[in-house]
Amino acid sequence: MPQNLQELKGLIDSTPNIAVLLNLAGYYAKRQLPEKGVDSEVVYDCPRTQMMIRTAVKGTQIGGHFHTVSDEIVIVVGGRGEVLVNGEWKPVKPGDVHVCPRGIVHDTRALEENLQYISIFTPHLPPGTDINWVTGAGKY
């Protein structure tokens, strides 16, 4: 058993390299949102997991896509919107959780108000991107 925290340092491979406690209301209140699209910030990062705090700005639809490496867990924390789940648009509100395994097409839209959510990717997203866009008629 380690005698002090310094002996555990070899285990710590995250950014930040300390525990994280976020006040979401305070976080969202300070963000400068774009006029359209998705505001996203990585707040925790390690080789096994990546967590982003995000806002889909009113009027935004991300577009159908899937991930080849990472599963995505979406936790809705504010606003309302819709998520494409197994080919069907489902309304989402604070407290809803969407788990999307890699290889499954999904999409998010915030048509009437901003949608605030947390995305957790596991394993960590690869360098560059793991977004594979789905295009064409009948894409979902």
pLDDT in tens, 75-101: 999 999 999 999 999 999 999 999 999
As for how many domains the chain has, the answer is 1
Residue 127 located in a structural domain: yes
Residue 70 located in a structural domain: yes
- State how far Cα 89 lies from the chain centre: 18
CATH number for the domain that contains residue 111: 2.60.120.10
Q: What is the DSSP string of the chain?
A: --SSGGGGGGG---BSSS-----HHHHHHH----SSSEEEEEEEE-SS-EEEEEEE-TTEE---EE-SS-EEEEEEEEE-EEEEETTEEEEE-TT-EEEE-TT--BEEEESSS-EEEEEEEESPPPSS---EE--STT--
The letter for the amino acid at 36 is K
Structure tokens at 120: 């957790």
- Flag whether the pTM goes above 0.85: yes
Residue 40 located in a structural domain: yes
Structure confidence at residue 128 (pLDDT): 86
Q: With a cut of 50, which residues of the chain have pLDDT below it?
A: none
Residue 62 located in a structural domain: yes
Structure confidence at residue 7 (pLDDT): 55
Residue 22 located in a structural domain: no
Residue 19 located in a structural domain: no
Spatial contact of 74 and 98, defined as CB atoms under 8 Å apart: yes
